[in-house]
Amino acid sequence: MVKDQNHLEKTASFCLDFAKKLGATDSTALVTHSVSETVNFRNKKLDESERSDNLGITLTTYIGKKKSSISSSNLTENNIKTLIERCIETTKITPEDEFNSLPDKDLLAKEINDLNLYDDDHIENDEKIEYLKEVEDSAFEKKEIINTESGFSESKSNFILANSDGFLNGYKSSSFSASCVAVAKVSNNMERDYEFTNVCHLNDMSKPKQIGRMAAKKTIQKLNPQKIESEKISIIFDRRISKGILSTFASAISSSSIARGTSFLKDKMNEDIFAKSINIFDKPDIVKGLGSRYFDSEGVKTEELKLVDDGVLKHYLVDTYNGKKLNLKSNGRRDGTSNLFFEKGSISYQDLLKLNKRTLYITETIGHGSNLVTGDYSVGATGFVVENGVFKYPISEITIAGNFKDIFKNITIADDLEFKYSTNSPTMLIEGMVVAGK
């Protein structure tokens, strides 16, 4: 479905050669091809079906410490020549920046071990439709479900990255995903929730009945929520939500945020920022991992990083440009994290629920309430009241707040880690958060 490596390599090499001929002291070329097919259903009827086929190039040229980039989806030879000419002319009039450069040669990826990120299997649209029919039929088994929306997507991609220091490599990847959003109604109350599957290989997808029934179950559980009073209480984040804590952490340790001084974790290297029991890994070499990669978008090799070791911050996410500002070498994180996760804890999910007589279990947050400069956190939320480990009733219209400096120090992690996303976390308990209710 996607163009082979040789075709992409020839285009990338042509770009580098022509850029050098026109006066570039260094250059990079990224040539990509992706194909995707999507089918959407609504209330057991086909809603839309579409296919996209994208071929593109991004060229970056350097003249000394001057740098500029240009992109196009027109890969004819004449257009590519015109693009390179424009890029060179733009580079000439761009101000110098002392930190502009290609990555150090010794950091570039050389050996690539197969991580099984590509599946050549293809599922026809008729089969996608049958899959979604079964998803929605399963959701509608519950009488409370009045509306559904589901989708099935298949995508394949290939790319080549090349630079004037001799790097020339790329790889294929694939993705198969399906989801179901269900709406339930009882009396005048309506709620919605979802379930999904997202994998590299077709045969690893969840069964359609599993998706539909789980979407319905999660939605029905939220019906007839109650309002609660404001209080300070321990909060349990469902795995879907606790991974967001990791995402905020990753943003706070990006070298761009650190270099700009806009992160609450600046100057915190080798300091205790989490509870002693917390370890955080970024592992790019997980077989079939949704975030797995062989190198970053600069060609720098990616290796496993233990970002937090017994609560201590050990690494930032460093790219070439901001690394030079911080006097640090790139660790292959030009594109951020790969497969980021909390190491699983030592307490079971059930025991975590019982740690306090009364807790709030959060299944959904609303809004983007993370301030990376101050570390303040405040979001709307819905979930459940848990008493003595038992889910009592759903709640809604609350706001939970705290500061990440305190949140990180008061985390307890369960042992139920699973790799469902590129960023993953076990169920998480955070002591002493502020809840604003009615």
What pLDDT is recorded for position 81? 95
Same domain for 136 and 182, yes or no, is: yes
Same domain for 211 and 316, yes or no, is: no
Greatest Cα pair distance in the chain: 73
Cβ-based burial of 130 (10 A; exposed 0-12, middle 13-18, buried ≥19): middle
- State the CB neighbour count (10 A cutoff) for residue 215: 30
Q: Which of 122, 431, 123, 117 is nearest to 287 (CA)?
A: 117
Q: What angle do CA 95, 101, 103 make, to 5 degrees?
A: 160
Q: Are 192 and 182 in contact (CB under 8 A)?
A: yes
Q: Which of 136, 155, 170 is nearest to 41 (CA)?
A: 136
Could you tell me where the DSSP H helices lie in 222-353?
Answer: 239-252, 255-260, 320-326, 349-353
Same domain for 150 and 247, yes or no, is: no
Distance CA(322)–CA(304), nearest Å, equals 20
Distance from chain centroid for Cα 304: 17
Distance CA(197)–CA(36), nearest Å, equals 17
What pLDDT is recorded for position 1? 65
Tens-digit pLDDT profile for residues 400-410? 999 999 999 99
What pLDDT is recorded for position 355? 94
Let me know if residue 97 belongs to a domain.
Answer: yes
Let me know if residue 191 belongs to a domain.
Answer: yes
Let me know if residue 226 belongs to a domain.
Answer: no
Same domain for 312 and 366, yes or no, is: yes
Last residue of a domain, one of 188, 221, 254: 221
Same domain for 215 and 297, yes or no, is: no
Let me know if residue 396 belongs to a domain.
Answer: yes
Tokens linked to 176: 């198969």
> Could you give the 3-state DSSP secondary structure of residue 119?
coil
Last residue of a domain, one of 193, 221, 249: 221
Whether the predicted pLDDT of 4 surpasses 90: no
Same domain for 241 and 201, yes or no, is: no
Let me know if residue 217 belongs to a domain.
Answer: yes
Alpha-carbon dihedral angle through residues 257, 262, 263, 269, given to the nearest 10 degrees: 70
Same domain for 243 and 211, yes or no, is: no
Let me know if residue 372 belongs to a domain.
Answer: yes
Same domain for 217 and 249, yes or no, is: no
Same domain for 180 and 248, yes or no, is: no
Same domain for 148 and 242, yes or no, is: no
Same domain for 314 and 422, yes or no, is: yes
Distance CA(65)–CA(20), nearest Å, equals 15
Same domain for 278 and 313, yes or no, is: yes
Whether the predicted pLDDT of 89 surpasses 90: yes
Last residue of a domain, one of 159, 187, 221: 221
Number of domains in the chain: 2
Tokens linked to 435: 């809840």
- State the CB neighbour count (10 A cutoff) for residue 39: 24
Tens-digit pLDDT profile for residues 123-140? 999 999 999 999 999 999
Please state the rounded mean pLDDT for residues 424-432: 96
Tens-digit pLDDT profile for residues 9-25? 999 999 999 999 999 99
Mean pLDDT score of the chain: 95
CATH number for the domain spanning 173: value is 3.30.2290.10
Tens-digit pLDDT profile for residues 231-268? 999 999 999 999 999 999 999 999 999 999 999 999 99
What pLDDT is recorded for position 397? 92
Let me know if residue 93 belongs to a domain.
Answer: yes
Tens-digit pLDDT profile for residues 304-357? 999 999 999 999 999 999 999 999 999 999 999 999 999 999 999 999 999 999
Domain limits for position 110: 5-221
Q: Are 400 and 432 in contact (CB under 8 A)?
A: no
Q: Are 424 and 344 in contact (CB under 8 A)?
A: no
Q: Are 415 and 346 in contact (CB under 8 A)?
A: yes
Cβ-based burial of 293 (10 A; exposed 0-12, middle 13-18, buried ≥19): buried
